[in-house]
Amino acid sequence: MKKGYLLALMALVSATAASAADKQDNQDQAAAAEQKASKAEKPKKEKLICHTEKVLGSLTRVNRICHTEAEWRQIEQTSNKELNDIQQRSGQGVQGSNPLGG
């Protein structure tokens, strides 16, 4: 009878230990998945693109200007819009403007 209780107790302890190990594995896998998800959510740092411009009135001096690709696009769009506004205010417009007057 004692052997039966002992075997039942050993089986119970073994099952509990296996269950605890499975829970630990599941927790480890969940933590790893959460860590991967948090890495994926972080935005990647955009690469800077640098341009050099000659300084007006100097033969050797240059300025280096660095922005991200999105910032350069925004700068270009703003410049184009301002140029169009200036042309429209001066009455030239974009179409039919001939700088030679012909």
Q: State the alpha helices, DSSP H only, in the chain.
A: 2-41, 69-90
Rounded average pLDDT over 52-72: 93
Distance of CA 43 to the CA centre of its chain: 3
Question: Sorting pLDDT into bands at 50, 70 and 90, what band is 97?
Answer: low
Question: Sorting pLDDT into bands at 50, 70 and 90, what band is 45?
Answer: confident
pTM over 0.85: no
Domain boundaries, the chain: 48-90
Q: Which of 81, 78, 49, 83 lies closest to 66 in space, CA to CA?
A: 49
Question: Sorting pLDDT into bands at 50, 70 and 90, what band is 95?
Answer: low
Contacts of residue 84, defined as CB under 8 A and 6 or more positions apart, other chains included, come to 94
